[in-house]
Amino acid sequence: MSGLLTSFNAGVSGLQSAQTSLNTTAHNLANATTKGYTRQQTIIADSFYKNAFGSHGNPIQVGMGTTIVNTRQIRNSFLDDQYRMQVGKQSFYEANYSAVGELEELFGEMEGEEFVQSLNDLWVAVDNLSKEPDNIVYRSALVSQAGQFADRASILRQELVNYQNNMNQEVLAQVKDINDIVSKIRDTNILIRKYEAAGNNANDYRDERNILLDKLGTYIDFDVTEEIDGTISILSEGDYLLSSETQFKLSTAYESEESRLLKPVRASGGDFFIRGELNYSAENNSDIGSLKGILVARGNREGIFTDMPQRPKRTDFMDATGNLDTAAYNRALEDYGNEVGIYSSTVAPSVIMRTEAQFDQLVHEVVTLINDKLCPNKTLTLEDGSTIQVLDEENAPIGDDADKSIGIELFTRRNVDRYEKVTVNAINDEGLLQTMEVYKYNEEDYNDIHTLYTASQIEVNPELEKDPSKLPLNANPKTGFVDGFVSHICKSLMDEWHSGELSLDPTSLATYSFSNYYNSMIGEFATQGNVWNGIIENQEVTVKAVEDQRQDIMGVSSDEELASLLKYQQCYNASSRYITVIDQMLEHLIERL
């Protein structure tokens, strides 16, 4: 009799297991199209066994039915990690590609006219003046075109800097999003631990958490560790963003005292990207997340022509007889190699910073080329053996004005005059010490931007705007010419315009003339954009492939669930019939006894 009563446990547990499985299957079907839903499965196991004795006293075990162990999610953590890594890579290159699109728009139009047009117009004005250097109309045209060139260079430079600064808002927004996502994950951690500690099913909260983790994967690279209580910890860039229920927030700070660009930092102190945000490599998977992509594209400061290492020229290390100072030249090459290494790690990775430096180099080279032709300098050795640069008054051309002005440059620095009249004791051409009054050249100081001929500091000489006749194109009487014009200066400028050697990339031996440099610069970042676009397209395919694999495992198949529904319905019916049979047997025994 007791055995029959015990048998009810097997039937009842069977009903319960079948009913729970039916509920789980119905839940799967109801959420078949719910985004982020993970297929669930009820795990059923044997319940405990009861020891008994059979015929002839043989020991036996009597099963007490089934028990529900768990209702689990069917996920693959490896595929989850792969998906988040691949979608993070896609976001990284999308951020860089977006920056290239902005650059193309900035350089494509400048107040309705391409910047290259103002560059070409400047050289057309120089070419016209080389044919008629005495023509005041052509002189005025050159000054006018120089003014347009300086203005547009300054405006374009400012537009680049403004875009770079505006990316601060995107950094702020992404840091806020990351904090918000981690905060929501922390909240789901609390709910999961609460419900699962009470023996309830928290799988829907787990789905919500996984969706948040997928979203976080678009911003940053991270690792997840699940604790025994169902909570997770998030480790990113060598430190925790979340430890179970404790969140470690991110904040922002300026890149440096000089830079107004923002970078992510930990609220508790220290940079978020401990290995530097500009260093990335596909080989070591450091090209993950849109936050890093933005920082890489933007750079950590404004790029300038001084960032571009200049390969030493052999001629600069030769004496008057043509002998090369090999030791000095090799030292210069070694220093150049070190500078290239610094450039490659601090400037080149950033498309905006690199473009700023390349563009500024073009402006600097154009401006200094013209100025140095109109106002040539020479080296003067002082009494103490040091040297200074001074205006070469014997060979410099003069203006066509009444004062026969000399040393009037076409482009000036806003806050620094080209020359300063000083009295010095120096060695003259005959090798004798002499007290002389000279025009000392105020050289560019790479540590002071206000002394540089950079796009942000240049303007056309106000003296020439008032009186273009001061443009130094008349022959200097000291050279033996009287009332002549130095048309060869303009012709020399045109020759260098077509034959100059400018390098876009210090790591490359390729050089470009002034006339080709600008187009090559535009083509370089456009080509880079195409490369990144190709990577993005490949990543889209990869992300889709990984997501398809995830869905094969975690996704709901209506056909499979309907088949399971029929199976569990039959299990329910079988358990019900089993209970009915036991009931009839008990009824029969009771009535007979």
pLDDT-derived band at 50, boundaries 50, 70, 90: low
| Bridge partners, 441 (sequence order) | 419
Residue identified by tokens 């033996």 is 480
DSSP string, 26-76: HHHHHTTTSTT---EEEEEEE--EEEEE-GGG-EEEEE--EEEEEEEE---
d(CA 419, CA 375): 10
Q: How high is the pLDDT of residue 250?
A: 96
The answer to whether residues 147 and 117 touch, using CB atoms and an 8 Å cutoff, is no
Out of 220-234, 414-428, 502-516, least confident range: 502-516
For 468-490, the pLDDT digits (tens) are 999 998 888 776 555 577 777 88
For 62-91, the pLDDT digits (tens) are 666 777 777 788 888 899 999 999 999 999
For 98-112, the pLDDT digits (tens) are 999 988 888 875 445
For 285-303, the pLDDT digits (tens) are 889 999 999 999 999 999 9
Q: How high is the pLDDT of residue 59?
A: 67
Handedness of CA 327, 329, 334, 335 (dihedral sign): positive
Q: How high is the pLDDT of residue 1?
A: 47
The answer to whether residues 156 and 107 touch, using CB atoms and an 8 Å cutoff, is yes
Q: How high is the pLDDT of residue 439?
A: 93
The residue ranking higher by pLDDT, 572 or 93, is: 93
pTM score above 0.75: yes
Q: For the chain, what is the radius of gyration of the CA atoms?
A: 39
Among residues 371, 471, 468, 485, the alpha carbon closest in space to that of 140 is found at: 468
Q: How high is the pLDDT of residue 493?
A: 84
d(CA 114, CA 228): 63
Q: How high is the pLDDT of residue 567?
A: 85
d(CA 135, CA 123): 16
d(CA 100, CA 95): 9
pLDDT-derived band at 201, boundaries 50, 70, 90: confident
Q: How high is the pLDDT of residue 283?
A: 83
Q: How high is the pLDDT of residue 215?
A: 96
DSSP string, 336-390: HHHHHHHHHHHTTT-HHHHHHHHHHHHHHHHHHHHHHHHS-EEEEEBTTS-EEEE
Among residues 407, 410, 364, 397, the alpha carbon closest in space to that of 488 is found at: 397
Exposed / middle / buried, residue 362 (Cβ in 10 Å: 0-12, 13-18, 19+): buried
Task: Answer whether residue 5 shows pLDDT above 50.
Answer: yes
The answer to whether residues 517 and 504 touch, using CB atoms and an 8 Å cutoff, is yes
d(CA 341, CA 344): 5
d(CA 465, CA 44): 91
- Residue 504, SS3 per DSSP: coil
